[in-house]
Amino acid sequence: MSTEKIPLVSLIIPMYNAEKFIPQTLESLLYQTLKDFEVIIVDDCSTDNSVEVVESYAPKFSAEGINLHLVELPKNTATPGFPRNIGIQVACGKYIAFLDSDDFFTQTALEELTTLAEENQADVVHTDTFLMLYDEKDLVICTRQKLPIIAAPTFETTDLAQRIVNWIKRGYNWESFTMFCKRLFLVGNQIQFPRLLNNEDMVFSFAILCSAEKFLRVPNVTYIYRQREDSVSHKQFDEAPVGFHKWLRVMNDGLNEFAKVMDNFNFFAENLDYRYTVSNFYFKEVSRSLERFYSRFPEFTLNDFVKREFHPDNAEFVAQLFNKFNLQRLEIAQLRRELEKFQRQ
């Protein structure tokens, strides 16, 4: 029987080719005011020296009484979602926190989050704000929200309809690092990251929002996010037509993953308008990235991409895609009418 102490927090870090940034990430953990946590790093087949860098930090964490676990995947998954799922399986802490391999925490981050979770017995502590680091020097307060940011810890309404409305209004952050979760809540509700090339955080956080009874929003700034133009998530979609193919796949697979989440709740079966609104919102968010392709390829070329990539049975995706293109045509037609009207004056 293992006598190893169960930590209060399990911190999960997916890693791929992060040797340049992972030292700062790990240093931010060594200096945490809370020491009752474990670190689970899941390496997605890095081809640089990331693994060696992490291994060199093992003695430092051991000296602080912190367990540092390194899990090396046998095959690259090309998505941070799968490594995070492995981390959730390995974790044994009461709470789970997520940290990307090129980001870092403030010194009191874990202490603040666990205190808030414990005092409020929350399923989830959702951070409304975080710091964004540009070019390794410019720190900017960042929030995705269009709703007013709260001034004190506040439980979100338990009315799922209102939560969905707030989500559509971009009332919550959906990055995984803004969700500090009770482990038994995630496991009990079978909440995992989908196997998507991009936007897996969005589906994950949506499932949390729909499932959590005690969803605590807090104003604490505990996370520093590094904005990098050379990140894998930026690069993998840049090339066309490959980039276009990947975005179509992300859009279609994402719609399917949202459908899976909504299938678990009677609310969406009884309120089909909300179901459609969620799908439509997701489609609009992701399809913005397609706009850079519109000016580079004639429409018949885009049609050929779609025909090659998808089966006609993907009715919802095709309908959303048609709707997107049709709305653009209507907007262009309206702009032309306004221009003609202006020219006649």
pLDDT digits (tens, 9 = 90+) for 4-28: 689 999 999 999 999 999 999 999 9
Do strands 124-127 and 37-43 pair parallel, antiparallel, or not at all (unpaired)? unpaired
Cβ(130)–Cβ(43) below 8 Å:
no
pLDDT higher than 60, residue 175: yes
Q: Is 9 exposed, middle or buried (0-12, 13-18, 19+ CB in 10 A)?
A: buried
Predicted pLDDT at 251: 82
What are the φ/ψ torsions at residue 8 (nearest 5 degrees)? -75, -40
pTM of the complete model = 0.85
Predicted pLDDT at 234: 47
pLDDT higher than 70, residue 278: yes
Predicted pLDDT at 134: 78
Q: Please, which residues have CB within 8 angstroms of residue 17's CB and are 6 or more apart in sequence?
A: 46, 47, 48, 50, 232
Overall average pLDDT of the 224-250 stretch: 63
pLDDT higher than 90, residue 311: no
In whole angstroms, give the CA distance from residue 107 to residue 286.
Answer: 34
Structure tokens at 236: 């993998």
pLDDT higher than 80, residue 34: yes
Q: Please, which residues have CB within 8 angstroms of residue 228's CB and are 6 or more apart in sequence?
A: 102, 234
Sign of CA dihedral 26, 27, 28, 33: positive
3-state DSSP helix/strand/coil % of the chain, to nearest 5: 50, 15, 35
pLDDT digits (tens, 9 = 90+) for 160-169: 999 999 999 9
- Least confident among 15-24, 207-216, 310-319: 310-319
pLDDT digits (tens, 9 = 90+) for 77-90: 988 899 999 999 99
pLDDT higher than 70, residue 326: no
In whole angstroms, give the CA distance from residue 5 to residue 36.
Answer: 9
Percent of the chain surpassing pLDDT 90: 61
Predicted pLDDT at 111: 98
